[in-house]
Structure 1
Amino acid sequence: MRVHSIDVFRAVTMVLMIFVNDFWTLEHIPQWLKHMPGQADGLGFSDTIFPAFLFIVGLSIPFAIDHRLDKESSVQVVIHIVTRSLALIVMGVFLVNLENIFPAAMTIPKQLWQVLLIVAFMLVWNNYEKTELSQGKVKILVGAGVLLLLLLAYLYKGGSAEDVHGMRRHWWGILGLIGWAYLISALIYLAARGKLIWVGLGFLIFMAYNYLDFTGILDFLEILHPDFWLTGHASHQALVMGGVLTSVLFRIYREKGTSMVFQILLMLGILLIIYGFMVRPSFGISKIRATPAWTSICMGISVLVFLFFYWLIDLKKMDGWT
């Protein structure tokens, strides 16, 4: 059974993400709407949007994977998960390099490189299932896209006049961060086969890692950063796993009645927010630093917003505006 409130929550979040991403180009925007500075202890409205999107990624994982398991083997599902993750990671790396491009050293204009990059993305990751193209033609188009990506990587020059270099992984980019978090969380859910105890354990491990990383206890793992998949102090993985846990709880308690769903998820959201404010004195609330307080408070807010949309869309059927 499809939960339409998840689709609405995702759509609203994507609209808000586009909206807040343009704030830096505007003047006289209230501070509470913008991202807080990196070392500040506070939460702006813009700081809640990206974690909400990560949470929604997790919300969707149980429904999507279980649907695929009805038709495909576990191996096929793993291949699907890895393929989707790789797409996000590759796109993230290319887009980050686009931000650091050095036009004067390029053999083609930056604008042309950028347009060709989007064309390559479309060729490689277009949804060809809904087209009438033969498998042979699809393979040709995807192959052309891969070759174009390789050519663009070869032509790329970044840096400055003093330090011209080729493509680098400066950081994973927003898409890359989503890709890594999705990869780990989806594989955990698949291995757990939806069992609450294992999903909950995975969630708690990432929450604990996020906290312990800030205490310095895990400094010995710094050799793995930033190339290891636990980017962002495991905050992003915790947010996605929080969405997975919420979905598992939702599906378990929905069978026991609407009131149970509201009680459990309301309690979860409130407890997460309380925990966030409990650890705030230690590390502050910061999106830039991905602190435990930011992770937990934003996750709690996302649980409560999902609960609101479930009440509005799925229960009250007030979806005419969607």
Structure 2
Amino acid sequence: MTSKFSVTRLDSIDIFRALTMFLMIFVNDLWTLEGVPKWLEHSAAKDDAMGFSDIIFPCFLFIVGLSIPFAIANRKSKGDSDLTIGRHIVERTIALLLMGIFTVNLESANDGMIISKYVWEIFMVIAFFLIWNVYPEKPENKSIYRLLKFIGLLILIGLAVIYKGGEADNIVWMKTHWYGILGLIGWTYLICAFVYLIVGDNVALVVLACVFFAIFNMAEFSGALGFLHRIRPHVWIVGSGSMPGLAMGGILASVIYRKYSKQMSSTTFLLILIGLGIVSFIYGFGTRPFWGISKIRATPAWVGICSGISFVAFAFFYWLTDLQGKKDWAKILKPAGTSTLTCYLIPYVWYAVVTLAGISLPIFLRTGIIGIIKSLLFSLIIVLITGLINKIGIKLKI
């Protein structure tokens, strides 16, 4: 395995993303089950532990980082300036933050709204699709597409106006709370995309950025950043450096590939990925005695161990798909890798519809191993639905 490799986009990134999205939908459905093995679930904030569910989101952030260098390089190849790319980064971030704020407020919606929270949920997703759908390149229909986007915006405004959250004795309006998964991705993307836009394929500077976020994360847990407590509510690094740290790991892997692809063999690249994984594991297990492993608290150990898993997983998928050419097994999951946001949002509609319809599976289908199989099938169905609606022109892109 000594052949040189090209600087084109890697199939392994899309396949890694597709499988991660499939598993994200799966673990997000575990709440519908009974008797789920503890190792599959999220660990509590107080525990020094990490379940399978705690690994999926950091892997996704790592993949966000993997994609950034290729996406920015692609825009530059089309003639986009840094200013244009920077504006695009901000626009994508705003979209993710807005969707994140709406989805996280759904969790605390009060039943006292003029419409059911589940109807509110369905209209929320409809608005997202109207605003951010990829409409066909048909100049004669541009006015119609603008109207649909405007209708989507009006729906979001209307949903915000009628929103009521909290308990009956303490009704509150929409709040940022924790921005939701999409919002966390948005903040992470904003930081890391601009870091890459500034430093480019300079490996040393990318490594420096990785080290900075790791130090910031440890400093937060050690109490060394107490002097910044006044600005924390207004200006802070998402996850106290943990989430950008995960994404920067992905950027580092892509930058090494892009910069040195013509100077080293594929075997060397694999060894580098595995080596970075080992370094990450050492960092993770080395910091565990100080602050434990916790996704909820985003501890350094969680970042290190999940980064190690991500590096090794990416190495495996690169070897399997880009080098060995074994890609057919992933075809069924392809929509989850190419229409990730669409795939993520469809379950919101699914859960709302089945709740409004009063549909509930028998308990034996939601318990133990049978329940786990049910959730795996549910995830696969969501991916297949994503592929079907893509074919009729419904696909989100920000």
Matching residue within 77, 95, 103 for 1:70? 77
Contact 2:201 2:258 in 1 (8 A): no
Partner of 2:254: 247
- Residues 225 and 231 in structure 1, CA contact (< 8 A), matched pair in contact too: no
Distance 1:229 1:122 in 2: 30
Cα distance change on mapping 1:200 and 1:34 into 2, 3 Å: same
Give the 3 Å change call, closer, same or farther, for CA 250–164 of structure 1 in structure 2.
same
Q: Please tell me whether residue 300 in structure 1 is matched to residue 308 in structure 2.
A: yes
Residue matched to 1:179: 186
Please name the residue that 1:83 is paired with.
91
Alignment of 1:38-187 (within 5 A): 38-71=45-78, 72-104=80-112, 106-130=113-137, 134-187=141-194
Whole-angstrom CA distance in 1 between matches of 2:136 and 2:98: 22
Gaps of 5+ in 2: 1-7, 331-398
Q: What is the distance in 2 between the residues matched to 1:318 and 1:151?
A: 48
Please give the root-mean-square deviation of Cα atoms over the aligned residues, in Å. Answer: 1.5
Q: Is the 8 A contact 1:276 1:292 kept in 2?
A: yes
Deviation at 1:116, TM superposition (A): 1.4
Quick one: distance in 2 between partners of 1:229 and 1:120?
30
Partner amino acid, structure 2, of 1:166: W
Are 1:311 and 2:319 counterparts?
Answer: yes
Counterpart amino acid of 2:117? K
- Aligned pairs, number: 321
Is the contact between residue 180 and residue 229 of structure 1 (CA under 8 Å) also seen in structure 2?
no
Q: 1:229 to 1:134 in 2, by over 3 A?
A: farther
Match of 2:16 among 3, 6, 9: 9
Moved more, 257-266 or 172-181: 257-266
How far is 1:89 from its partner? 0.6
Q: Which runs of 5+ in 1 are unaligned?
A: none
Cα distance in 1 between the residues matched to 2:150 and 2:54? 38
User: Following the alignment from structure 2 to structure 1, what is the Cα–Cα distance between the partners of residues 140 and 202?
Assistant: 40
Amino acid at match of 2:229: E
What residue in structure 2 maps to residue 228 of structure 1?
235
Q: Which residue is 1:27 aligned to?
A: 34
1:271-310 → structure 2 map (5 Å cutoff): 271-310=279-318
Q: How big is the shift at 1:130?
A: 5.0
Change (3 A) 1:302 1:133: farther
**SS of equivalent to 1:50:** helix
Does the CA contact (< 8 Å) of 2:270 and 2:319 recur in 1? no
> Does the C-alpha gap of structure 1 residues 190 and 171 become closer, same or farther in structure 2, counting only changes over 3 Å?
same
Deviates more, 1:254-263 or 1:79-88: 254-263
When residues 229 and 122 of structure 1 are mapped into structure 2, their CA distance, relative to the original with a 3 A threshold, is farther
TM-score, normalisation: structure 2: 0.78
Q: Report how far residue 319 of structure 1 moved.
A: 1.0
Listed one character per residue, the Cα deviations across residues 124-150 of structure 1 (whole Å, up to 9, x for unaligned) are 111125566633333222222222211
Q: Which amino acid in 2 is paired with 1:189? A: Y
Q: CA deviation at 1:13?
A: 0.2
State which drifts further: 63-72 or 127-136: 127-136
Structure 2 Cα separation of the partners of residues 28 and 49 of structure 1:
21
